[in-house]
A and B are shown apart, each in its own frame.
Chain A
Amino acid sequence: DAGVIQSPRHEVTEMGQEVTLRCKPISGHNSLFWYRQTMMRGLELLIYFNNNVPIDDSGMPEDRFSAKMPNASFSTLKIQPSEPRDSAVYFCASTRDYTDTQYFGPGTRLTVL
C-alpha cells in the first residue's frame, strides 16, 4: 500500500499568493482529514470529509481557507490569499469507515514570506 500521498512536500510562496495543497488518501479509505501543525498550537484539525462530503469544517481558520474532495481519491486544501501566519506543516490523514485509526501522510511544509 502506498500510504497517504501529499504534494508538494515543500512550498515557499509570497504573501498574497494562492496556495493549493493536494492529498491522495489510502485506497479504500473513505474519511479524509486535513490538519495543521505549528509549534505554538500543535496539531489542529481543520476539516474532515466522509464519503467526499465535508462533515466538520469548524477548524478552518477563516474564509481564506477552503477544501474540496471531488472524488474518493483526491482532496485539495486551498489558501487564498496566503499570509505569513499560515506558515505551518499541513497533514492529510485517512481512515476506513467504521474504524478509528487515522493514517497520516508525510505533510506539506508551507512557508509564506
Chain B
Amino acid sequence: GESVGLHLPTLSVQEGDNSIINCAYSNSASDYFIWYKQESGKGPQFIIDIRSNMDKRQGQRVTVLLNKTVKHLSLQIAATQPGDSAVYFCAEKGAAGNKLTFGGGTRVLVKP
C-alpha cells in the first residue's frame, strides 16, 4: 500500500541552529499534508499543515515546503530550542476520505 517515510532517523542539532526534517511520500493523489510533534509520553501535537495547491507555508518559527514533483515534504524549524526536542511525524491524506497516513517519524535532539 501507499506509505509515507517509514524510517525513524535522528537529527542532532545545536541550540539556535535551524533544523530541517524531511519526509518522502508515495501517493501522488494526496492533497493534504501535516506535521505533528510528539514529546515523550504525550500525543502528537499539530504543528503546521499544507494543501497540495501550495508549495510553502509559514508559521511561527516553522516552515513547511512541498515539492510535488519529487513527492517530498520538509519541515524547517528556525532557531531550534531545547523545547523542540521531540519526534516529528509527517502525514498525508488522499483526496477521498478522512484517513491520514503517517510516516515513521524523525527524532530531533537539541544540544545546548
| Residues of chain A at the chain B interface (Cβ within 8 Å) | 4, 31, 33, 42-43, 45, 48, 50, 55-56, 91, 93, 95, 100-107
Contact = CB atoms under 8 A, between A and B. Distances in A.
B43 A104 contact: yes
Contacts, number: 50
Interface string B96-111: 0111111111000000
A45 to B, nearest CB: 6
The range of chain B's interface size is 20 to 34
B75 interface: no
Contacts of A33: 98, 100
Contact of A91 (B32, B34, B43): B43
A53 B4 CA distance: 27
B26 to A, nearest CB: 15
Given A100-B32, A104-B36, 7 more contacts: A4-B43, A42-B8, A42-B102, A100-B93, A102-B34, A104-B44, A105-B43
A102 B43 contact: no
